[in-house]
């Protein structure tokens, strides 16, 4: 199990789900926060779909979420590959961080994160949770 600190971060527009993970899983928390912080986010919906597809033996799947920090997540067995790109002061993606995480650990962590986000969106979620 990937240890995760899940909390709500105050932002000017309201609270935002935040997932913090320590190395060697730090990019998992980054991806969850940036790309799957709402039930409408691509990382939330497509990440879940990709995990189910891989678990059913139907091949690998890629999930991409973007912005000034973009993530390309390749969901596959035995490892999920998370690549985080930074957009510096130019228009070129010049810097990236790559991390591989065992599929089953990623799938379990995504399930726990999705439950936390759903509870927050329904208004009955905890202010902080650990998982």
Which tens digits make up the pLDDT trace of 75-129? Answer: 999 999 998 876 665 555 556 788 999 999 999 999 999 999 999 999 865 544 4
DSSP state of 125: -
Q: Which residue has the tokens 């329904």?
A: 122
Question: What per-residue confidence (pLDDT) applies to 64?
Answer: 85
Domain spans of the chain, in order of start: 5-130
What is the distance, to the nearest Å, from the Cα of residue 28 to the centroid of all Cα atoms in its chain? Answer: 5
- The phi and psi torsions of 115 (rounded to 5 degrees) equal -65, -40
- CATH code, 5-130: 3.30.2450
């Amino acid at each position: 199990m990937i240890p995760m600190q899940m909390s709500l971060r105050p932002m000017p527009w309201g609270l935002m789900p935040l997932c913090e993970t320590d190395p060697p899983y730090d990019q998992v928390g980054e991806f969850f926060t940036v790309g799957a912080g709402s039930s409408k986010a691509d990382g939330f919906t497509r990440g879940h779909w990709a995990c189910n597809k891989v678990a059913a033996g139907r091949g690998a799947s890629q999930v991409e979420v973007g912005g000034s920090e973009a993530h390309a997540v390749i969901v596959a067995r035995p490892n999920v590959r998370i690549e985080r790109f930074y957009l510096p002061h130019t228009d070129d993606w010049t810097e990236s961080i790559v991390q591989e995480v065992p599929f089953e650990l990623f799938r379990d962590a995504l399930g726990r994160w999705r439950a936390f986000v759903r509870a927050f969106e329904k208004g009955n979620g905890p202010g902080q949770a650990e998982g």
